[in-house]
Chains A and B, each alone.
Chain A
């Protein structure tokens, strides 16, 4: 089935700097890649997603890039602010093996933005 690796597990940046989180996936048939943000004590919420027919997608300060050949995708946050501090999860929708079209999540990245 699908396997998603996420790096780094923790990331600390200064306010105003950029942050990049990277994920790799194993199932070449995967076609949907969302990113979820989970603030402390809260539920995960979708912040941006990308489909396999698109190489990049932007929404204000956040962007996601996808390289299907290399099977990796990345989240980019520019001009980071303290409210960006959270755990970020990448996911891929896998098809082979036991994935059956469900989302397979990475293990998360804890982002800390220092004022």
Chain B
């Protein structure tokens, strides 16, 4: 079944550590997104990519970087994690065949101590 997967599902780390969150998809979609979810703040876009050679900053990109290693893989890195980056992170995919629907991964819960 075509899906969007994220690893790890849960991660606890310390301030100052570099962390990578990974997203893979088997839907064959061109577009991939990273969102952050905080209680009461909804979903906020961190970075997005419309194809392998296209990377764009979203609403809250400071402190984050991304890499689109292949059409199916999109990684999010926290260069030096800080406690206010504690959140639930979602990857999502879409393309013209899905209309405008975005398909979300299961999420990664990150805690920065």
A residues sitting closer than 8 Å to B (CB atoms) are 6, 9, 32, 34, 42-46, 49, 89, 93, 98, 100, 102-108
Contact A105 B43 (CB under 8 A): yes
**Known: A89-B42, A107-B40, A107-B42. Contact between A44 and B56, CB under 8 A?**
no
> What residue in chain A is nearest B56 (Cβ atoms)?
A100
B107 and A89 contact, CB distance less than 8 A: no
Q: Roughly how many angstroms separate A42 CA and B88 CA in the complex, as a whole number?
A: 11
CB within 8 Å for A49 and B101 given contacts A102-B45, A105-B43: yes
Instruction: Please state if A103 and B102 are interface contacts (CB–CB under 8 Å).
Output: yes
Count CB-based A-B contacts (< 8 Å).
Answer: 42
Residues of A within 8 A of B33 (CB): 102
In the complex, what's the smallest C-beta–C-beta distance from A25 to chain B, in angstroms? 13
Report, nearest first, the 6 A-B pairs whose CB atoms are least far apart.
Answer: A43-B104, A107-B42, A105-B43, A105-B42, A46-B101, A32-B100
Name the one of A46, A93, A102, A106 contacting B42, with C-beta atoms under 8 angstroms. Answer: A106
Give the most central of B42, B45, B48, B104: most A CB within 10 Å: B42
Given A100-B56, A107-B41, A108-B42, residue A44 in contact with residue B100 (CB < 8 A): no
B residues near A98, Cβ cutoff 8 Å: 59
Inter-chain CA distance A100–B41, complex, in Å, is: 20
Q: Within the complex, what minimum Cβ distance (angstroms) separates B106 from chain A?
A: 5
Flag if A46 contacts B56 (CB, 8 Å): no
Q: Determine how close the nearest CB of chain A comes to the CB of B47; give it in whole angstroms.
A: 11
Residue B44 at the chain A interface, CB threshold 8 Å: yes
